């Protein structure tokens, strides 16, 4: 076992002499695997139906001779110019009806039969050609699927999807509530994608559209995956997820893959960048039940698409990469190997920067490659977690969508608020769906779980002795987008021992005093039924109304937080809930991250300093795998330093 190290390799931008130099540099840097051909469709199939594999044969041969494995991509995120010209219907259409033009990437309509046919054909041709190639280790399908198309082909596909779901137009009318504003459909042909209209659209229609978009794109992935699996059943298939793409439901998608892969580009200058990156790592590990995942792309330094593309500080590349390893990644890869001189990404950093191998970046890259060699025994080990945060795609898709309660409250922010508190305490976290088995966790957090159906799993979890912390907006609607009769928290009313009589989202900047702090963004008007009140509003029209409550339900306790609390208050509530649940973290200095990985025989204690200043930290006795030295007790970590201690 080993931890893979490498990046996207785009040899179609370079000549053969450069390929030869590349392989030598890859070896020097400790590269073990590269992703080849992500955008190479025009080079592989310059004329429809005529494949040119000679150049790729040579690239794969050079890589194999250099001992480097290949993650071979299907190039279907970059359909060539001939496809746009001959089959303009393969170009996607935006919400406003504007057809996208050729000249960027990812411009395909996922429902286009011709696009799907040509994608499967090139996937099949690649698999046929390289099925027995000794360098082939992994398939990478497309790139960061994020397609959404409002064309007439997509509209017909949407209708077919709806017919399968609802069977009759009457059932669709009922579920969507089309009686409101006279939106009743008499026949399927009248149903269109949610293109813009005068004012608000029907939220159930928007939610079904989201689901359809995810499924239509997934059908593209499956279409290629199946072509690949037919010829290479033993080679795993993945596609690279992107953090903030709401267009696809990562839970459903991960089940269709063999291994999960992430592209992570945290802002090096955001004070919470490395914390929020931790959430993404934990989410990726959780998508397939704790299976090791792959950091498929990251930046060695600056990206090329922010308004200000700042460099990473010296040392930041290492700590950010090892953070992914700490949180379960078995690969650290970058976009891209060699910096492009031309084209849209000419200012994006790379493993070999424009300044060449005699550079700070290449030295840091090489050092990291050799660090990962020393960490080989971590591959395949697991990351323990006592706490689960419910991450629910339907709540994400609906809470942030208009008609909504507050534009200041987004699902991602609500989850991050709780995640950050856990991160600062170095408490291990998994992400789960609301219906997953929760029995392994001491504590489950339910931040803004807006769309909940009746949920026996959560009920049984608390009744059986579990600890639950739910926040406002939870259980407001069901998964058809209808508001629960009786109001929030809908199916959790008994578990939480309360009902929310009204929700009062607060204007930006308004602070409502609470016993020992204040509330912002939102104020639930909570009516306790069996719950005990822990704190109340002390001023304003709802003075005396509960803010935080706790309810004993069976053998467990369910806490409710009906507002966004000021930080110290939020911290106190979480500390108390953790104490009750018996959850303990690893105390550390600010921005020092502590994570454990376990194997059958060993415990690994990883300490990561995310700040550009030295810090002291107390570690258990063991060997630091990165330096090979024994350490125990109080040690000093240099700026951005990392220790990986086999205890």
Q: Contact residues for ligand GAL (CB under 6 A)?
A: 143-144, 242, 263, 265, 297, 299, 303, 335, 345, 348
Least distance (Å) between residue 534 CB and ligand GAL:
44
Yes or no: say if 274 and 590 are a contact pair by the CB < 8 Å rule: no
Give strand pairing partners of 603. 598
By beta-carbon proximity to ligand GAL, the closer residue of 75 and 412 is 75
Calpha distance 266→274 (Å, rounded): 7
- Residue 522 sits at the vertex; the CA angle it makes with 521 and 524, to the nearest 5 degrees, is 170
Least distance (Å) between residue 249 CB and ligand GAL:
19
By beta-carbon proximity to ligand GAL, the closer residue of 338 and 459 is 338
Yes or no: say if 439 and 461 are a contact pair by the CB < 8 Å rule: yes
Burial class (CB in 10 A: 0-12, 13-18, 19+), 239: buried
Q: Is 8 helix (H, G, I), strand (E, B) or coil?
A: strand
Least distance (Å) between residue 299 CB and ligand GAL:
6
Which residue among the candidates 148, 257, 297, 364 is catalytic per the annotation? Answer: 297
Calpha distance 37→138 (Å, rounded): 13
Q: What is the largest CA-CA distance in the chain?
A: 76
Yes or no: say if 432 and 464 are a contact pair by the CB < 8 Å rule: no
- For residue 471, which of 426, 420, 515, 417 has the smallest C-alpha distance? 417
By beta-carbon proximity to ligand GAL, the closer residue of 79 and 497 is 79
Calpha distance 123→74 (Å, rounded): 6
Calpha distance 433→128 (Å, rounded): 38
By beta-carbon proximity to ligand GAL, the closer residue of 82 and 265 is 265
Which residue among the candidates 144, 257, 377, 401 is catalytic per the annotation? Answer: 144
By beta-carbon proximity to ligand GAL, the closer residue of 147 and 242 is 242
Least distance (Å) between residue 138 CB and ligand GAL:
16
Taking CB atoms, the residue at the shortest distance from ligand GAL is: 335
**Phi/psi class of residue 619: alpha, beta or left (left: φ > 0; alpha: ψ in -120 to 50)?**
beta
Torsion of CA 619, 624, 629, 634, to 10 degrees: -20
By beta-carbon proximity to ligand GAL, the closer residue of 73 and 444 is 73
Burial class (CB in 10 A: 0-12, 13-18, 19+), 199: exposed
Calpha distance 459→464 (Å, rounded): 8
Least distance (Å) between residue 145 CB and ligand GAL:
10
By beta-carbon proximity to ligand GAL, the closer residue of 144 and 430 is 144
Least distance (Å) between residue 364 CB and ligand GAL:
18
By beta-carbon proximity to ligand GAL, the closer residue of 299 and 444 is 299
Least distance (Å) between residue 142 CB and ligand GAL:
10
Calpha distance 172→484 (Å, rounded): 19
Yes or no: say if 642 and 626 are a contact pair by the CB < 8 Å rule: yes
Task: Indicate if 297 belongs to the active site.
Answer: yes
Q: What is the DSSP letter of 171?
A: H
Least distance (Å) between residue 242 CB and ligand GAL:
6
Which helix (H) or strand (E) segment holds residue 206: the answer is helix 203-231
* Catalytic positions: 144, 297
């Amino acid at each position: 076992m080993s931890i893979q190290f490498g990046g996207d390799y785009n040899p179609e931008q370079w000549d053969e002499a450069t390929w030869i130099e590349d392989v030598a540099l890859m070896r020097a840097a400790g590269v073990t695997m590269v992703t080849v051909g992500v955008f190479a469709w025009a080079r592989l199939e310059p004329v429809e139906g005529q494949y040119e594999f000679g150049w790729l044969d040579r690239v794969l041969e050079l890589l194999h001779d250099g001992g480097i494995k290949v993650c071979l991509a299907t190039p279907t995120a970059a359909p060539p110019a001939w496809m746009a010209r001959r089959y303009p219907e393969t170009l996607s259409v935006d919400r406003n009806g504007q057809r996208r033009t050729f000249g960027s990437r990812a411009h395909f309509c996922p429902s286009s039969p011709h696009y799907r046919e040509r994608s499967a054909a090139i996937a099949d041709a690649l698999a046929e050609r390289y099925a027995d190639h000794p360098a082939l280790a992994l398939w990478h399908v497309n790139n960061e699927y994020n397609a959404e198309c409002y064309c007439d082909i997509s509209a017909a596909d949407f209708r077919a999807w709806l017919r399968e779901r609802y069977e009759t137009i009457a059932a669709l009318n009922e579920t969507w509530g089309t009686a409101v504003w006279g939106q009743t459909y008499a026949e399927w042909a009248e149903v269109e994608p949610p293109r813009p209209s005068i004012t608000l659209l029907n939220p159930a229609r928007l939610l079904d559209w989201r689901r359809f978009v995810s499924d239509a794109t997934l059908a593209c992935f499956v279409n290629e995956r199946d072509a690949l699996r037919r010829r290479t059943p033993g080679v795993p298939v993945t596609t690279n997820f992107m953090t903030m793409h709401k267009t696809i439901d990562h839970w459903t998608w991960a089940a269709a893959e063999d291994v999960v892969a992430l592209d992570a580009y945290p802002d090096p200058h955001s004070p919470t960048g490395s914390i929020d990156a931790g959430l993404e790592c934990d989410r990726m590990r959780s998508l397939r039940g704790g299976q090791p995942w792959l950091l498929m792309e990251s930046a060695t330094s600056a990206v090329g698409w922010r308004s200000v593309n700042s460099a990473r500080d010296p040392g930041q590349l290492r700590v950010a990469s090892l953070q992914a390893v700490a949180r379960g990644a078995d690969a650290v890869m970058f976009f891209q190997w060699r910096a492009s001189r031309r084209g849209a990404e000419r200012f994006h950093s790379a493993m070999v920067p424009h300044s060449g191998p005699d550079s700070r970046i290449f030295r840091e890259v090489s050092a990291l490659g050799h660090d990962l060699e020393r960490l080989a025994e971590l591959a395949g080990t697991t990351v323990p977690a006592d706490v689960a945060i419910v991450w629910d795609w339907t709540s994400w898709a609906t809470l942030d969508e208009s008609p909504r309660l507050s534009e200041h409250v987004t699902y991602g922010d609500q989850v991050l608020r709780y995640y950050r508190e856990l991160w600062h305490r170095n408490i291990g976290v998994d992400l789960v769906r609301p219906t997953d088995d929760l029995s392994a966790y001491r504590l489950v957090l339910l931040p803004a779980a807006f769309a909940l159906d009746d949920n026996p799993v959560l009920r049984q979890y608390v009744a059986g002795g579990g600890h639950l912390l739910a926040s406002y907006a939870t259980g407001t609607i069901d998964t058809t987008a209808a508001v629960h009769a009786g109001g929030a928290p809908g199916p959790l009313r008994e578990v939480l021992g309360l009902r929310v009589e009204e929700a009062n989202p607060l204007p930006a900047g308004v602070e409502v005093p609470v016993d020992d702090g204040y509330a912002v963004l939102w104020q639930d008007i909570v009516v306790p039924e069996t719950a005990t009140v822990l704190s109340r509003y002390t001023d304003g029209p709802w003075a005396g109304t509960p803010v935080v409550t706790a309810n004993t339900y069976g053998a467990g306790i369910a806490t409710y937080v009906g507002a966004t609390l000021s930080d110290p208050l939020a911290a106190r509530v979480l500390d108390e809930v953790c104490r009750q649940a018996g959850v303990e973290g690893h105390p550390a200095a600010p921005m020092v991250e502590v994570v454990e990985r376990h194997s059958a025989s060993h415990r690994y204690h990883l300490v990561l300093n995310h700040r550009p200043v030295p810090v002291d930290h107390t570690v258990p006795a063991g060997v630091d795998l990165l330096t090979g030295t024994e350490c125990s007790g109080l040690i000093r970590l240099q700026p951005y330093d990392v220790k990986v201690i086999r205890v």
